[in-house]
Structure 1
Amino acid sequence: MNEFEKRLRWGVDQLGLTLNDDVIERLLSYHGLLVKWNKAYNLTSVRDAMQMVDRHLIDSLSILPFLSHERLIDVGTGPGLPGMVAALVREEQSIALLDSNGKKCRFLNQVKMSLKVDNCQVVHHRLESWQPDEQYQQITSRAFATLSDMVAFSRHLLAKDGRFIAMKGLYPHDEIAQLPSDIEVVKVSPLAVPGTDGERHLVELGIKS
């Protein structure tokens, strides 16, 4: 077992998740591709491979208990965070990964092909103008935009009674205060992310009926 696998298994254990060996192997294969491609394509500002385990894999895994198994789209996904991580763990869930950056989408398509991630769709498009055939029950984002911008740019993608699920650092008091009047805060949950300094919060929003 190499150091990356030890660290990932430690993080998974700390989060209270149960992942089988095949899923761990797929996550580590994704990590390997991310490390390799990042050298040429600058997919993430995190350069250290061990830090990528903490700040990308374990951080993305921390929201799994908050996600249902319904259709999900990860907007501004970058190199697939948290969407590709979720897709690798939940092979039965339909997950779309949207980003306007061509390099990042090429990387995601390479991951999809190399690891046979058949349950995810890579969408290279600007968020506000993309029109899917079917809406999504869950829209996730990680450090993509303010809550108001996330809602404004992606609300056309949200199914009735769906949720916006945004990963944030500090409790976003100001961003919540600036939300439109028809948006309600369903829940704000502190995230305990092992190996990561600083506060993390998950903000769940809905459209008032």
Structure 2
Amino acid sequence: MLNESAKNSLIQGAKDLGVSLNEHQFNQLDAYLELLLKWNKVFNLTSIRDPEEGVKKHLLDCLGIIPVLEKMQRQGLPMRSLMDVGSGGGLPAVVIAVCFPELKVLSVDAVAKKTTFITQAALELGLKNLRAKHSRVENIKEKFDVVTCRAFSSLKDFVSLTESNIGEPGMWLAMKGRRPDAELQELPSFAEVTEVIDLHIPGLGEERSVVLMRHI
């Protein structure tokens, strides 16, 4: 379990982000981070070793996009299925699956040990809406309402590799550090930016943004 300081950081950070976590969801995120750090000792899933750092740089960082997804839902955009590309240790796929239990989430990564971990995490956390697939994204043939990534590649490569996976209507959501102005200029003609949102992650002190795009 999280130590008291890390626990308080998660509780307060979620509130500051405007994310409402019930007790069950909080416990799932707590157990997920504990599992990630435990597996990390053997499988090197993340460079982070400290629970409080894990809360800020992993959990809160990914919770920052939850209000964005909730806004999309309120706007009537379909939110039945989501694919997270290059999930690594399950970020943001696991966090999204916890916060949206009715959303079917597929986590894709080309590294087998990472998808093995996500499969085990889904089992231990009781996330029946989350599955993982060991594959290169270009080999995925399914279509999704939302396709996400976090530090995966350039925006151009992200949308090009997943163009065939975007449903109609569908949205891309790319998590970035600072606002990627140069990358925005290189997008192919089929991808239209609908919004670029600057995120303020509690306690992080680093620039974060999210780029929303639709297929045209």
Aligned length: 206
Q: 2:192 aligns with which of 166, 184, 204?
A: 184
Identity of counterpart residues, as a percentage? 36
Equivalent position SS for 1:80: coil
> Aligned partners of 1:70, 1:197: CA distance in 2, in Å?
33
Amino acid in the other structure paired with 1:177: Q
CA RMSD after TM alignment: 1.1
Equivalent position SS for 1:95: strand
Q: Which residue does the alignment assign to 1:23? A: 25
Which structure 2 segments of 5+ residues have no match? 74-78
1:121 aligns with 2:123: no
Q: Residue 49 of structure 1: CA displacement?
A: 2.0
> Aligned partners of 1:190, 1:63: CA distance in 2, in Å?
10
In the TM superposition, 1:36-51 aligns within 5 A as: 36-51=38-53
TM-score by length of 1: 0.95
Q: Which residue does the alignment assign to 1:11? A: 13
**Contact kept? 1:139, 1:164, Cα under 8 Å:** yes
Q: Which moved more, 1:44-53 or 1:165-174?
A: 44-53
Q: Residue 8 of structure 1: CA displacement?
A: 0.6
Equivalent position SS for 1:56: helix
> Aligned partners of 1:128, 1:101: CA distance in 2, in Å?
14
Q: 1:58 aligns with which of 57, 60, 65?
A: 60
1:206 aligns with 2:214: yes
Q: Which residue does the alignment assign to 2:37? A: 35
Equivalent position SS for 2:56: helix
Q: Residue 5 of structure 1: CA displacement?
A: 1.4
> Aligned partners of 2:189, 2:147: CA distance in 1, in Å?
19
Deviations 1:89-130 (A, max 9, x none): 221111111111111111101101111110111111110112
> Aligned partners of 2:199, 2:13: CA distance in 1, in Å?
13
> Aligned partners of 1:186, 1:164: CA distance in 2, in Å?
10
**Contact kept? 2:18, 2:67, Cα under 8 Å:** no
Q: Which residue does the alignment assign to 1:84? A: 94
TM-score by length of 2: 0.92
**Contact kept? 1:4, 1:28, Cα under 8 Å:** no
**Contact kept? 2:138, 2:162, Cα under 8 Å:** yes
Equivalent position SS for 1:81: coil
Amino acid in the other structure paired with 2:201: V
Q: Residue 66 of structure 1: CA displacement?
A: 1.2
